[in-house]
Structure 1
Amino acid sequence: MYSGLVYGQSFNNHSEVRVVNGNPVLFINDGQVPPFAYMSYLGEAANYREMASSGLEVFCLLAYLGDQGINSTSGIKPFRPSFWKGMNEYDFSIIKSEFDDLINVKKDAKVIIRVHLDAPVWWERQNPSELCRLPTGESHRVSYSSKKWRKDAGVALLALLDWIRCSDYNSNLIGIHVAGGFTEEWFFHYKDKFFDESQSRSNGFREWLKEKYEQDNHLLQKAWNDSTLSFRNAKEADISGISSGKSIRKKGENSQLDDTFEYHGQIMSDNIAYFSRLVKEASKGRLLTGAFYGYHLFVNDPRRGHGSLSTLLDCPDIDYLSSPNDYRREVGVDWLPMAAIRSVQLHGKLWLAENDTRTSLTTLLREKAPNIVPEEGDWYDKGVWIGPRDLSTSKELLWKNAGRMLAYGYGGWWFDMWGGWFSDPELRSVFQKTNDLYKKYVINAKPDEDLYHPEIAVVVDEKLQFYDDSYGRITGKLFKNRYALGQVGTSFDIYLREDLAALEKEAYKVIWYIGIEEITGEEEQIILRLNAKSNRVIVTSEEGSLVYNRKKLINSNKGRVVWTPEQIREVLRSAGVHIFSTSNDVIYAGKGWLMVHLSEAGRREILLPSEWSLTNVKENGSTAYNSDRLMLEGEYGETFLFKTD
């Protein structure tokens, strides 16, 4: 464990997340700053110069402990050399070079370093027992249950912090993004089936069981229905995926499997908490910490390890959490975050979206860095890696990103993956204006300036995937309702079931429970109180949906697991929810903002809840006007953004 400041020098900047008017916001040296940043895997001075001229203050740089590609299935090569050359041996020259490229362009740039904590090959060779063990006896990458990896990687992380603290770059550093696993997003590395039969994992699982069952063998034996069981011989269930089912099993039907998945998910949240604590201790709380985690709405396979967000939200050493936007990147579709961010915000954590939005300037990795592209396959040459054809559509999609961040009260970084994706003044004008709007309207905003709050609450269970014998297929089908919700014509909040009690302080007209199985006695009492004051309640499971008017069942939709926007709107109308548009447009309303993203070209009448004062902030010099409706006309995918008063 780190014992204090090695060189007796502190970090210059003090960065933190504070809750202002009920919303987490970013402060650097006691001043609130826009939570928008720039990042690139292949950052160059020219790109930094472009983004600095767009008003961005925060930049993300990269540092790697590992020397293997971040994606263990595609064969992609490393983006950077590892700075960890051996135990207590480091080469920070590549990090120095990156800092220099940035600060030569913007001397006062504030920097968050994404540190990828996977082990390099030399460490794996020295520590074969700390790797994932396959049934064949072969190994595959580090076991994330390995305490030795965690300790050694932690020492290397602290060495990096010490080097920066004693360098000229101390004045730039504001935080560390702790990264690890597949694509740096804390997924377990595996190709087709998951295996880890290492002693590290078995030992970790048994220690976890001792804590859960209070070191009482009888409790473990009763739960697993095995009188011969002990903490010394308990083994993880097979979660390789070789065999799968077609239903959601009840809790306790297979406690060995239940416990295995719960432990499996908690490994990653525990690792994030561990490295974040090291950063907080080493910086005496002056540096930000954050990580990718909680992709339960999008990644439903429990083997990936993203089922313990609620645990991580209780960690005092985490300031922010992140994910890319939903990867259904169609025009006219809501690209929402992959987690229940209302719960993230309730716990005082800032959400930062990774806006890796493809544009008409997006190039293929093969064109920019052929030495990094896998030797075989064309994964990086097609599909999600291709941007829209025209600059106009690209710009409107960036405005949609910006509108969602403003209306839902979070931030993010513009992720220019291979560089040059935003190298056009028209595209960068979105970043400049978003920054300016935040400074003008969000900083120092008064609590009563928000005219509209979402009237729909969605409650989901991130752990449903643990009991999904189809390895997430059923869970994924249930959570597909997020796409229809995004086109109903109004805003909504998503919560984890662990935060049910927080809904009692709100005034939602509709509450939709998706995949909430086997409620506890405490949950039942909360739900009864919520149902009594909500106009409509929807309950959706793998068998279908039920609709209640307060406590009375009014509609049974057996077989309706996935809803359409029209079907949801029917329930919303009966509950008195305000619907801005019935044209399947994407609407973001809240925090003093109204955004409309057109699902098809044409004229629209956007109905407002009352007479609002509206300013079209996309148009320079636009003046405010009062109205109870908006008449809009635009192209397919066009985005309109208004400040409301």
Structure 2
Amino acid sequence: MKNSLLLAAVFLSGLLSAESPLPVIPARPGAALDFDFRGVGGKTEFKDRTGNYKLISDTAPMLEEEGALRISDSARLHIPCKNNAFGEKVTIIMWFLHTAANNYQWETPLLERGLQENRYRNVVPYKRKTGQYDFTLHFAADYPGFTIGRTADSNVGTEGILAHGRPYDRTRSYYNSRFPKWPLTIHNDPAKLYRKNYWQQIVATYDHGACKIYLGGKPVASVPTKRKEKFLSCGHDLVVGAYRTDSDLNKESAEIRVKSLVILPKVLNDQEVADIYAAESPLMDVQRKRENLKLTHHYYSGDRKAADPALKRTLKISKKYMEKLPEDPYKGNRNMTGRFNSNGMLEINGKLYPPVMANMYMGDQSIPRRKVIVTDFAAAGIDVQAFNVYTAWAGDYEYDWKKLDEMLEMHVKSCPTVKLNVMVRLIAPEWFKKKYPEELEMQAANFKEDNPPLKPCLKAGGLLGSEKFRKMSEKFLEAFIEHCEKGPYANHIYSYQLFAGDAGEWYWPGLFAGTSLTGYSEPTRQGLIKFLRKKYNNDVNALRKAWRNDQLTFETVKMPSPKRRLSSEHGLFRDPATAQDIYDIRCYLNARTAECFLSATSLVRRLAPKKIVGIYGGYAMLFAKGVPIMFSGLQTLSQSIRSSSIDFIATPLDYGLRRYKMPGVNINAFEASAALYNKSIWREEDIPTHLYELDLNSRSGSLRETLEVKRRAFGYTLAGRAGFWYCWQMNLPGFHQDEIMEDSAKMKKIADASVNRSRKSVAKVALIFDEYESLMYTNAAGYGRFMNACSWSFYRDMHNSGIPFDVYFPDDLANPKMPDYKMYVFLNQWAISDKLADIIRKKLARNQAMAVWQYAPGYIYNKRFDLNNMKKLTGISFTENMKQRNFAPEQIRYSKSPLAQGLSLEDSLTLSPAFSAKQEPGTEILATANGLNILARAGRSLWSLLPLTPELIRNLARSEGIHIYSNDGNTLVVNESYLMVHTRKDGPFTVSLPAERKVTECIRNRDFGTTKTIHENLPAGTTAIYLLEKTK
């Protein structure tokens, strides 16, 4: 009876909405599938008008609004459908209403068949599950997309019409336009046809691969290319209003109403589409604007029902804490001091704390709401916390400290033991943008033209090129620090963190989305001129010679066009002899970025000399694969690590693989390099928990997943050397649940017990990544997958290799504090100087270490391409071929050498130039492909043309006597005192230790005794942290 009443209530709530029901749209003659959704409310199954198909809701009875199907967060709506159900000529017609129900939602999935890869939302729909994906009809903001079949390939194209956009800076475009071999025609500007808050009709046609999209009866875009594959072949259901992956709970749902969905087994022409729109639009009352859809939890199920977005509940742990607040231990102190000790632990007022912090979502500045979260974490024992305020910089040299003071007071009163990292926003306020529009950075969204139209960067932080903004922001910063240091709560502030540039992460605006090139403002041009005058000693003839322009003067220098900046003279590489202008541009952007953050942090160091100072940074390895590395000023991490005014660098974790069963690695790989200079890397654990309202594709699907991902974060801190902070991505209530906070309290106690234990590395393998010179000569556009596989993917996958490793910069090899390793893996040492080559030789010679080289070691030497220098560096002779080549897994032939056993290439890769190792005495060829010798060994050097793999490193480790902790493929991190395993699959696994240790699993408090071998059997996605204690 109770369930019947509930069902009736749901049914009535759907039908009796404020909007009057729209009339039924007449059935479409000849339709293979034909839904009008009036009457869907309260049902879990709903048949179409052909009687052949039904819509099924997995999580709750369907919601009806305005006589239409309401789709919202956590809805799982699907239509069983056979392969080849509609033939190879198809028309899809849908009426839908999209409003601003969720301000952060940029992607709007409408209809899909197949599985996306289990990655974050902004990759969708680039990555598709091989053989398990047919199509997606969707929107990126106001750009409709109709993607088909194959993964986007920058050297060929993307099947269908791929709409690309990023919510952060509100950019969108058709990705196909970047592929010269993929003919995309834009018939009408979609932004002018798209009508948010109005009912609108989308039509998509498919003819053996050729696609066309219509909005409001008018054609928007088309691709004429045909394909051999079948339209429907993956075997999955049609999914309405969501992206789907191999995990049912991992989807991004749309916030829309859908009135009708019709699929015809034929292709309509332009006139027929226009006629249907003309006939149906009066029924849909298309001229009346609708109110914004209201967020609803109607489809929430399982663990998601615990969500408390209004923060009305008081957690048990918090209630107990508030009943007996601790005394303020810092009362009476005038200040607070902070530093990192040599073990990477926080030392505040002389006492050690584990580097674990709560850093709340900055977008919600409500003090009552933030107080709830501050209390939750204080109750869990996490009283190292962070905050920032938006409103302090009120005008020209005008500051309003009211919100800042209120925030400080709230933290101290809610958590009397709080130790604060105060984050300072050096981002242009709206008043500055309005008053000084000439200081805004300018961007070009069209990459193909010599003189594309420019527009200001309004959404992103940016303004790194503006000297006016830099000086004014530093005056604000000075006033901010002085106010805090002289205020009553200075005795609770141990650290200041500065964020500026795009996303606050110190890179130039626009390229965060990868959809525009910036640097075209007049302030940036003036800064470039100043930089060039200094570099060329004010010698215009030297400038002209370098830039190959006899008419150029310093006064006429300007930023090159996007077309010039994205050109390539030598395949993957820019030619040092002819692209000096581009090299100088990239040098300037990096130098200017460093100038800004070094000047600002030095100011804080002077005003608060005994406090920790930090910034964001460390994106070079991740972004080496694309445009951002070339023009975002990201190649500055080495400088920040070496700066006396910077103590820590913070970077988010990998958004693409942050769920459980995934490695969840930090974007900043350089913990070991930072340790040489007693600096710390902080992992910003942007964990979208199962409670998040923002429907991210990487959101946890359950409470268990949330706990295991959080435990993995603790594991990286205990078994690695970085710190981590909880981060609320896009909303505050993401961790507001009894079970999460109770587990956090438990994990914090485990971390507390680690403060006097060594976090010294046990790695015998070092990865060397050149963030600067080698990347200065690359143009990854067109070779992104290859570049990614050479750097980021390899680093990420090495976490599953069972081999501990550290990551350094090339010049770290000269640092006497750097340990000696048995193997050095040079990921991208493609440019080299005599000085660096000598440093490398001396380091390798110290213990006759193995050197592993990738692709083009030493190829760029003295501003030219030099095969002889490659031999000098590696001991291997090479030939070169400039023809662009594709290497497929099936083309590779491996030798019978133990080093080549079990190797494979994951996916096809395209590259140019290609190199081949010469067959000569002393050189062993280990693999061939396309007539080239692509894997070779000579003496203590091993070289691979194609990206390295963990399997190859394991083979080398065995031959070099390097200990392998596990061969089971789980994520594994280990130091002297702790070992963390995060399982990627169900079942047993074994960890082998190099020496006997007393082993205790900390989370479940299991004693393994004194042993060299850990045998476990755990479900996939489980984190285990083992304490390793030396025995006498």
Classify the TM-score, shorter chain: 0.7 to 0.9
Specify the alignment match of 1:538 in structure 2: 852
Change (3 A) 1:550 1:615: farther
| Conserved 8 A contact 1:537-1:549 | no
| Conserved 8 A contact 2:992-2:1012 | yes
**What is the CA distance between 1:546 and its match in structure 2?**
4.8
**What is the CA distance between 1:338 and its match in structure 2?**
1.6
1:30 aligns to 2:339 (yes or no): no
Specify the alignment match of 2:516 in structure 1: 193
Specify the alignment match of 1:369 in structure 2: none
| Structure 1 segment 139-178 matched on structure 2, within 5 A | 139-141=456-458, 143-178=463-498
CA distance in 2, matches of 1:250, 1:529: 30
1:329 is aligned with what amino acid?
A: R
1:639 aligns to 2:1023 (yes or no): yes
1:64-98 deviation per Cα after TM superposition (whole angstroms, max 9, x unaligned): 3xxxxxxxxxxxxxxxxx22221232222222332
CA distance in 2, matches of 1:336, 1:188: 24
CA distance in 2, matches of 1:107, 1:610: 44
Specify the alignment match of 1:86 in structure 2: 395
1:35 is aligned with what amino acid?
A: P
1:47-79 deviation per Cα after TM superposition (whole angstroms, max 9, x unaligned): 111111111121111123xxxxxxxxxxxxxxx
CA distance in 2, matches of 1:54, 1:92: 30
Partner secondary structure for residue 538 of structure 1: strand
Specify the alignment match of 1:307 in structure 2: 635
| Structure 1 segment 429-508 matched on structure 2, within 5 A | 429-443=742-756, 445=757, 453-463=762-772, 464-471=774-781, 473=784, 474-479=786-791, 480-502=793-815, 505-508=818-821
Partner secondary structure for residue 981 of structure 2: strand
Change (3 A) 1:627 1:103: same
- Of 735, 759, 769, the residue aligned with 1:422 is 735
Structure with the bigger RCO (C-alpha within 8 Å, sep 6+) is 1
Specify the alignment match of 2:972 in structure 1: 587
- Of 677, 687, 703, the residue aligned with 1:357 is 687
CA distance in 1, matches of 2:354, 2:345: 8
| Conserved 8 A contact 1:535-1:549 | no
**What is the CA distance between 1:584 and its match in structure 2?**
0.8
Partner secondary structure for residue 421 of structure 1: helix
Partner secondary structure for residue 596 of structure 1: strand
2:1028 is aligned with what amino acid?
A: T
**What is the CA distance between 1:163 and its match in structure 2?**
2.7
1:551 aligns to 2:912 (yes or no): no
CA distance in 2, matches of 1:546, 1:272: 42
1:317 is aligned with what amino acid?
A: S
Specify the alignment match of 2:887 in structure 1: none
Partner secondary structure for residue 998 of structure 2: strand
**What is the CA distance between 1:425 and its match in structure 2?**
4.0
| Conserved 8 A contact 1:489-1:587 | yes
CA distance in 2, matches of 1:334, 1:491: 14
1:359 is aligned with what amino acid?
A: T
Specify the alignment match of 2:16 in structure 1: none
Change (3 A) 1:211 1:499: farther
| Conserved 8 A contact 2:801-2:966 | yes
CA distance in 2, matches of 1:29, 1:240: 54
CA distance in 1, matches of 2:588, 2:552: 18
CA distance in 2, matches of 1:326, 1:196: 27
* Of 525-534 and 269-278, the range deviating more from structure 2: 525-534
Partner secondary structure for residue 294 of structure 1: coil
* TM-score of the two chains, using structure 2 as the length reference: 0.54
| Conserved 8 A contact 1:508-1:534 | no
State the identity as a percent: 22
| Conserved 8 A contact 2:589-2:633 | yes
| Structure 1 segment 565-580 matched on structure 2, within 5 A | 565-580=950-965
| Conserved 8 A contact 1:244-1:470 | no
| Structure 1 segment 9-158 matched on structure 2, within 5 A | 12-18=335-341, 20=342, 23-41=343-361, 42=364, 44-64=370-390, 82-134=391-443, 136=453, 138-141=455-458, 143-158=463-478
- Of 693, 711, 714, the residue aligned with 1:402 is 714
| Conserved 8 A contact 1:143-1:200 | no
CA distance in 2, matches of 1:137, 1:210: 26
2:355 is aligned with what amino acid?
A: P
CA distance in 1, matches of 2:520, 2:816: 42
| Conserved 8 A contact 2:691-2:733 | yes
**What is the CA distance between 1:358 and its match in structure 2?**
2.5
**What is the CA distance between 1:121 and its match in structure 2?**
2.3
1:168-217 deviation per Cα after TM superposition (whole angstroms, max 9, x unaligned): 22222222211112222123222622133323112211222233334444
Specify the alignment match of 1:289 in structure 2: 613
Specify the alignment match of 2:645 in structure 1: 317
1:276 aligns to 2:601 (yes or no): yes
CA distance in 1, matches of 2:661, 2:681: 23
Change (3 A) 1:270 1:546: farther
1:526-550 deviation per Cα after TM superposition (whole angstroms, max 9, x unaligned): 2223444355322112647655465
Partner secondary structure for residue 348 of structure 1: coil
Partner secondary structure for residue 718 of structure 2: helix
CA distance in 1, matches of 2:345, 2:810: 24
Change (3 A) 1:518 1:85: closer
CA distance in 2, matches of 1:476, 1:252: 26
**What is the CA distance between 1:149 and its match in structure 2?**
0.4
1:614 is aligned with what amino acid?
A: V
CA distance in 2, matches of 1:230, 1:642: 64
* Of 479-488 and 24-33, the range deviating more from structure 2: 24-33
1:257 aligns to 2:582 (yes or no): yes
2:685 is aligned with what amino acid?
A: N
| Conserved 8 A contact 1:454-1:508 | yes
Partner secondary structure for residue 965 of structure 2: coil
**What is the CA distance between 1:155 and its match in structure 2?**
1.4
- Of 330, 336, 343, the residue aligned with 2:665 is 336
| Conserved 8 A contact 2:659-2:709 | no
CA distance in 1, matches of 2:833, 2:936: 21
Corresponding residue pairs, total:
589
**What is the CA distance between 1:237 and its match in structure 2?**
3.0
| Conserved 8 A contact 2:714-2:751 | no
| Conserved 8 A contact 1:408-1:591 | no
In terms of fraction of residues, the more helix-rich structure is 1
CA distance in 2, matches of 1:600, 1:256: 50
2:940 is aligned with what amino acid?
A: K
**What is the CA distance between 1:320 and its match in structure 2?**
0.5
CA distance in 2, matches of 1:438, 1:319: 21
| Conserved 8 A contact 1:252-1:258 | no
**What is the CA distance between 1:398 and its match in structure 2?**
1.4
| Conserved 8 A contact 1:592-1:644 | yes
CA distance in 2, matches of 1:112, 1:287: 10
* TM-score of the two chains, using structure 1 as the length reference: 0.85
Partner secondary structure for residue 754 of structure 2: helix
Which structure has the larger Rg? 2
Partner secondary structure for residue 263 of structure 1: helix
| Structure 1 segment 617-636 matched on structure 2, within 5 A | 617-620=1002-1005, 622-623=1006-1007, 625-636=1009-1020
| Conserved 8 A contact 2:422-2:497 | yes
1:568-620 deviation per Cα after TM superposition (whole angstroms, max 9, x unaligned): 32222222221111111111111411111112111112111121221221134
Specify the alignment match of 2:205 in structure 1: none
